[in-house]
Amino acid sequence: MRPVEVVEVGARDGLQNEREIIGTDGKLGLIARLMAAGVRRIEVASFVNPARVPQMADGEAVIAALPDLPGMRYIGLCLNKRGVLRALATREGGARGVDEAGCVLVASDTFGLKNQGQTIEEGIRENREMLKLAREGGLVPQVTISAAFGCPFEGHVPPATVARLAGEMADAGAVEIAIADTIGVGVPAQVADLVGRVREAAPGIRLRAHFHNTRGTGIANAWSAYEAGVDVLDSSLGGLGGCPFAPRATGNIATEDLVYLMDRSGVGTGIDLEALIAVNQWFEPVLGRPMPSLAARAGNWTGAPAA
Ligand code: MG
C-alpha cells in the first residue's frame, strides 16, 4: 500500500471557529506535541483580517516561535495577495517563517463573496497573482478549491466548475491542488467522481483532499479519496473545526480517526496513534470541552488480546 501524507489543520481550521480564544502558547504547545507524534506538515495560521477571525490574530507570533525541525513544512493560509505578502514577510531577515502559501479559491460566487469578497472569476484572477507572488518569493504555491462538494448558500456545485478551476490553477503554477468539502456534504461516490475529473483537468499535479465530518461521511470520503489516488489528506486533532462564514459547518475529520483507519489498512502515515491520543488528552483541558474524535475516545485497537 502506498503511504499517505497527513496535513494537520487543527491549529488553523480547527481553532478558527472556537469561541474561546486559544492563546499563542496553547497553539505552540499543540503544534510541538503534534510534531512529536510524527506530524510533519502543519497548517499553522491564516493571514486573515483579525477583526473577522479573532482566533487567527496572533498568526505572526505563532510563526515566529515555531521550532525549526528539519523536514517540517509549515503552511500559512492566504485568501488574497495581502495574505501572501504576510506569508512572505514571516521569512524576512532570515527568519524561518512558513514554507507554503496555502491559497484558497472558492467554487461558488455567493460563498466566495462571504468568505473572502471574491466571485469565482475574481478568485481565479486573485489566485493567479497569489500563486505567482508566492513562487517568486520562494514559498511553495498550492491551492485549495473550497466548497468543491457543495455550497452552503447556492447548494449544488457543478463538478465541471471544480474541474475547470483545477485546470486554471494548474496553469497558474499550483504544485498541489486540494478539493475541500468545506461544509461536509460530500459522499464517497462523489469523491471518486470529482477526483477523476480534477485529475483529468490538472494532470500530473499532486492532489490533496479536505473533509469535514458534518454528516458522518468524512472518514469514508477520506478512504474514497485515497482509493481514487489522492496522496495527501487534511485532518484536525480531535475533529475540531468549522468555518466562521459557512452556517452549520462543523469539524474536520479527526486526525486520530484517520490515522486509525490508515494504520489498520496497512497505509503508512508516519504518525503514532497512541502519541496522538495523548496530545488529544493534553489539549482537551486547554480547549475546555470534549472533542468529537471517536478513536481518541475509544482508544487504539491493534488486534492484540486484552491485557
Ligand atoms: Mg475546512
78 catalytic residue (yes or no): no
Using CA atoms, how far residue 268 sits from 42, 195, 212, in Å, is 17, 21, 22
pLDDT averaged per 10 residues, the chain (length 307): 96 85 94 98 95 92 96 97 98 97 98 95 98 98 98 97 98 98 97 98 98 97 98 97 81 97 98 98 93 95 90
Name 215's Cβ contacts closer than 8 Å, sequence gap at least 6. 184, 185
Predicted local distance difference test score (pLDDT) of residue 241: 87
Predicted local distance difference test score (pLDDT) of residue 215: 95
Catalytic residue, chosen from 78, 103, 151, 243, is 243
Grid coordinates belonging to 245: 462564514
- CA–centroid distance, residue 184 to ligand 1 (Å): 9
**Rounded to an integer, what distance in angstroms lies between the CA atom of residue 110 and that of residue 117?**
9
Predicted local distance difference test score (pLDDT) of residue 13: 83
- CA–centroid distance, residue 254 to ligand 1 (Å): 12
Q: Which secondary structure element, helix H or strand E, spans residue 10, and what is its range?
A: none
Assign residue 85 a region (left: φ > 0; alpha: ψ between -120 and 50; beta: otherwise).
alpha
Strand partners, 103: 78, 143
CA neighbor of 33 nearest in space, from 2, 69, 58: 69
Cβ atoms within 10 Å, residue 298: 12
Q: Helix or strand or coil: residue 280?
A: helix
Predicted local distance difference test score (pLDDT) of residue 14: 85
- CA–centroid distance, residue 9 to ligand 1 (Å): 8
- CA–centroid distance, residue 246 to ligand 1 (Å): 10
Strand partners, 176: 142, 206
- CA–centroid distance, residue 102 to ligand 1 (Å): 12
Grid coordinates belonging to 84: 501572501
* 263 phi, psi to nearest 5 deg: -55, -50
Predicted local distance difference test score (pLDDT) of residue 250: 86
Grid coordinates belonging to 282: 493534553
Contact 124, 133 (CB under 8 A): no
Q: Which secondary structure element, helix H or strand E, spans residue 73, and what is its range?
A: strand 73-78
Which domains does the chain show, CATH number per domain? 5-298 (3.20.20.70)
Predicted local distance difference test score (pLDDT) of residue 282: 97
* 261 phi, psi to nearest 5 deg: -55, -45
Predicted local distance difference test score (pLDDT) of residue 242: 79
Q: Helix or strand or coil: residue 281?
A: helix
